[in-house]
Structure 1
């Protein structure tokens, strides 16, 4: 071996050694996490990717809801109103994106501008917002509509904070960064070395499972450290497994049914009211082995939740169908002028409880003479947007920012981008308009209750169950405490337990 060759080898060794020394050192082998959902992409302005990327620990918001349900600052330090439609948001100093550049007002303004130009859900509360960087840590925000609590607006799931790049990508500030992504299959994460405590976190391999049963089998086989969203029917069996810990927790989600008011059979409010009265919420909650019958659009621990149980009344439901001209035929099923009252009910596998509820819903509607076809679809948002359904069983966090308004504005206001029910009511919209100018918490509760009463009367949706969810954990993560529904699955504090 020549001296020249030795010199090259030595140089290469020193280069490799220097790189290894400078590289990040993480805590342990990758955590193996499984769920029935994964972000559909890495573009934070597209669809629900913003929510998923925050759930995966990649992104943050300016404000967020903590484990106690309180609205608290995250990337921001405070927000102050300076005019009717204008606010300033002061950012926390010293925060960095995962590419080692500072989190500045200018960078965030560019990201928010991109989101508002491409994601209609972002418009639900304040309309189109405009942004101006006053200085590095001060962001001036002007809303199209009045917003009493801009902190709650910036905690909404479309408004993930990020910096767009010239290459058309995005850079985030959360405790993890994406190192690999396979569409509809997996996302590989490593700790963001510019987020405090990176050396205490392990990399994460996050896998999507096509159904909850396959997820369960992977957990039992020792392939996962966390299985998020286990089906309730396997919980008793899994609790006997010596190497697993199963934890349950209440969530702010509601299981509900959207009624497609644009479909001929669902256009009649009497038919929709009849269906709402046919649902036995106690039976539905028992079917999924967890949760409580819904009292309205919100989980019971919110101050704006409904206070009375939703009724089940088969006799009244039958009378409404009679009034609507749907008479029972010789087989007991309803028909009008020779046309059967037959509805298509859809749901999706990413929420296994809804799949479990599907045959129960079919049986309950059969009791009042309504025939049902059922379908489980992979991309529920695409199908729902296309309108090819009569009833869609849905899971939705209805107060993700701790405020009642966002769900109602984004999913039930006339013309809203996520209004799958195609519900349009000027009277309902007028109730929602009151949110824009009312800052008193007690009066906002009253507005939310008025809005729910209008929904009960018009029945564009039926609220069914306030669920409990289950998480399966290996010994490595036995101390993990789930909170925040699925908005904060991977967090900075996930850490190691053994």
Structure 2
């Protein structure tokens, strides 16, 4: 239960970080120390992407989840059955509790998820506004603003963790509960005594270490048991220590580059398409030494992924810029009506690979006569939502619940909450509306691919790499197996070897 005053929270976090324990706690097992390049900025799932972080941190759970094999399966729910009128009856699993011991009943679930659906625009991306009404203690009726045949997949999306509001704060159902929290910096967790298997778990100190090099050094110095998302250039340093283990694994994330279509040179689709054509995805993969070239919005493991490689054609890119009126100047930089073709390229260190990609992209665009200045920001969300960028490198899990509709709607539909590029297309909006409505799996694949093809034509984004990530482990967690990208990092099976 989250109820400590700020001073106590900070003191608690410091005590955990320093390994200090009072006499009463001296017999407790040593906490696991986990370092990530990101950490929850809030403990309210209705705020931004907090729900994703809370599930990743092992604090929250949803009604449904995506298994290690990529299959949507029940978690807090037992089943979901669609009725003839299109509504769904969700039956909850028996005997589940929140971390304060109160039961996970239909009344609590309906209140929480209705609140999230009303407050968080991301909750309305796949099927519009959802309404949850309790039928009895274990059953609730779910209706959606737009018809949907995939409610279990929607309820597995990161925006729908289950919680309960109490006078002392918000409580969740995950294997761990919060004892201290410094937003965006550190979390102290203890086993949730009301989650099965709690007796085998130990406390966790979770710290945000934004710089990938520092993350690797902290692991090498013995300060961490798990370092999540190590930069590739640090793997040799970690592997040199025989007591450490590195696990590399493919992820369903996509690295991409938003192009601000609202004004300036990038308002012209010819400039955007030229930039997209100039980038060699193979060069980008070599730069980060892992992953495969992106083919579109989704990793190739998904049936709705675009199949054809993205072309690289520098001569065609030059022709598009010439057609758009951008001519090379005496300094090699193109200009039009006295304006140089100069763009900013922003990345953020929480995803170290993005910073590595910056100079490769800058060099490729310089060959076209585009001057690029690079910037690194700690506040990628702030930059994205403000629209104060030309080109913005971004990492996104584009199908965390195994379905394409959420990403395609939330990031590209006209006026959508995360339409960072400012993209607008009636034809695209119609495709997404059809995708929401159709139940046929083959038709959903066709529509998702058609949407990706339209994005490729309009180029509000350049899809770059389907990456590979790296996790460093101490001997205490040598058997840890990463899965689910960064969505299920701290799981019920996270237990030390000792």
- What TM-score range do you get, normalising by the shorter chain? over 0.9
DSSP-derived class of the 2:126 partner: coil
DSSP-derived class of the 2:218 partner: helix
Match for residue 343 of structure 1? Answer: 343
DSSP-derived class of the 2:470 partner: strand
For 1:177-224, what per-residue CA distance to the aligned partner results, in whole angstroms no more than 9, with x for missing partners? 001001221000000010000011111000001211111110000000
Match for residue 239 of structure 1? Answer: 239
**1:80-479 pair list within 5 angstroms:** 80-167=81-168, 169-479=169-479
Contact 1:263 1:390 in 2 (8 A): no
Q: Give how far 1:263 is off.
A: 2.5
How far apart, CA to CA, are the structure 1 residues paired with 2:379 and 2:290? 25
Contact 2:477 2:497 in 1 (8 A): yes
Match for residue 17 of structure 2? Answer: none
How far apart, CA to CA, are the structure 1 residues paired with 2:496 and 2:237? 26
Match for residue 9 of structure 1? Answer: none
Match for residue 8 of structure 2? Answer: none
Contact 2:405 2:436 in 1 (8 A): no
Match for residue 49 of structure 1? Answer: 50
Contact 2:34 2:204 in 1 (8 A): yes
DSSP-derived class of the 1:141 partner: strand
How far apart, CA to CA, are the structure 2 residues paired with 1:396 and 1:204? 26
Q: Give how far 1:85 is off.
A: 4.0
Match for residue 493 of structure 1? Answer: 493
For 1:100-159, what per-residue CA distance to the aligned partner results, in whole angstroms no more than 9, with x for missing partners? 010001001111122122211111011111111100110111111111100011011111
How far apart, CA to CA, are the structure 1 residues paired with 2:96 and 2:208? 31
How far apart, CA to CA, are the structure 2 residues paired with 1:210 and 1:381? 15
Match for residue 31 of structure 2? Answer: 30
DSSP-derived class of the 2:223 partner: coil
Contact 1:262 1:422 in 2 (8 A): yes
DSSP-derived class of the 1:223 partner: coil
How far apart, CA to CA, are the structure 1 residues paired with 2:158 and 2:343? 32
Contact 2:63 2:77 in 1 (8 A): yes
For 1:407-427, what per-residue CA distance to the aligned partner results, in whole angstroms no more than 9, with x for missing partners? 001111111001001101010
Which deviates further from its counterpart, 415-424 or 112-121? Answer: 112-121
DSSP-derived class of the 1:187 partner: strand
Contact 1:36 1:209 in 2 (8 A): yes
Q: Structure 2 stretches of 5 or more lacking a match?
A: 1-23
Q: Give how far 1:374 is off.
A: 1.3
How far apart, CA to CA, are the structure 1 residues paired with 2:263 and 2:285? 28
Q: Which runs of 4+ in 1 moved over 6 A?
A: 23-27
How far apart, CA to CA, are the structure 2 residues paired with 1:369 and 1:38? 39
Contact 2:32 2:496 in 1 (8 A): no
How far apart, CA to CA, are the structure 2 residues paired with 1:136 and 1:25? 41
Q: Give how far 1:56 is off.
A: 0.3
Contact 1:181 1:188 in 2 (8 A): yes
Q: Give how far 1:268 is off.
A: 0.3
Q: Give how far 1:83 is off.
A: 4.0
Q: Give how far 1:25 is off.
A: 12
Change (3 A) 1:124 1:185: same
* In the alignment, structure 1 residue 72 sits paired with structure 2 residue 77: no
Which deviates further from its counterpart, 467-476 or 42-51? Answer: 42-51
Contact 1:26 1:201 in 2 (8 A): no
Contact 1:26 1:199 in 2 (8 A): no
Change (3 A) 1:430 1:436: same
Contact 2:34 2:225 in 1 (8 A): yes
TM-score, scaled relative to structure 1 = 0.93
DSSP-derived class of the 2:153 partner: helix
How far apart, CA to CA, are the structure 2 residues paired with 1:146 and 1:366? 48
Change (3 A) 1:24 1:460: same
Q: Which of 1 and 2 has greater Rg?
A: 1
* In the alignment, structure 1 residue 482 sits paired with structure 2 residue 478: no
Q: Structure 1 stretches of 5 or more lacking a match?
A: 1-22
Which deviates further from its counterpart, 471-480 or 331-340? Answer: 331-340
How far apart, CA to CA, are the structure 2 residues paired with 1:134 and 1:27? 43
Contact 1:26 1:200 in 2 (8 A): no
Change (3 A) 1:374 1:26: farther
TM-score, scaled relative to structure 2 = 0.93
Contact 2:179 2:189 in 1 (8 A): yes
Contact 1:85 1:145 in 2 (8 A): no
Q: Give how far 1:325 is off.
A: 0.4
Q: Give how far 1:308 is off.
A: 1.4
DSSP-derived class of the 2:180 partner: strand
Query: What is the CA RMSD across the aligned residues, in angstroms?
Result: 1.4
Q: Give how far 1:39 is off.
A: 0.1
How far apart, CA to CA, are the structure 2 residues paired with 1:26 and 1:70? 41
